[in-house]
Amino acid sequence: MLRMELQFYALFVTILSGVGLGLLFDLLRAVRGFLRPGPVLAALGDLAYWVAATAMLGAGLFLGSWGEYRFYVLVGLLGGLGLYYWLASPTVLWLADGLLRVLAWLLHLFWMLVLRLLWYPLVAAVRFLYAAGLRMAAWLGRRLVRPYRWLRLRYLLAKRRWRRALRRWLQGRHNPRDF
């Protein structure tokens, strides 16, 4: 049989584990109420809660009663949960909701700063460069129309001369100066 102070220590640690489980569950409730996740994210949140709760309970059992599961461990866990929900749960939910709202506001503020300081100027610069590129292309197009027409006419005339010369050569009436 364990000494009395060790039994009280184990009971106190299991009560703290119960309070921790209740706090963790209330934090999950606050996050779920704020984010309103879909079924997949809700299931992942539940899985994360149970992993954290198992780790917390395992650490509490190991530190409090050296891994032994006795009746006072169950009494301590349920007592800790009851004390937490009776004394602290509404306050913790209110604080968690307020903290989540402040975090959402800060994230929104950060996102607006990123948009206004980085994204909007970048979009404006790209639009300006695009418009300047279109104007430059139109200007160059107007400047190059006359030389293009002249070169195209020279190409078509040369092409016609080569065809005539090739046709004469194939018919046997060629002139050596044609080539």
Res 100: pLDDT:
86
Give Cβ neighbours of residue 165 (< 8 Å, ≥ 6 apart): 174, 175, 178, 179
In this structure, is residue 54 part of a structural domain?
yes
pLDDT in tens, 50-99: 787 877 777 777 776 776 777 777 777 777 878 778 888 788 878 888 89
In this structure, is residue 15 part of a structural domain?
yes
* Structural domain containing residue 29: 4-87
In this structure, is residue 116 part of a structural domain?
no
Confidence of residue 176 (pLDDT cuts 50, 70, 90): low
Q: Considering only CA atoms, which of 57, 63, 58 is closest in space to residue 19?
A: 57
- Tally the domains of the chain: 1
| Lookup result for tokens 């300006």 | 128
Phi, then psi, of 151 in degrees rounded to 5: -65, -35
pLDDT in tens, 111-158: 999 999 999 999 999 999 999 988 888 888 778 788 888 888 999 999
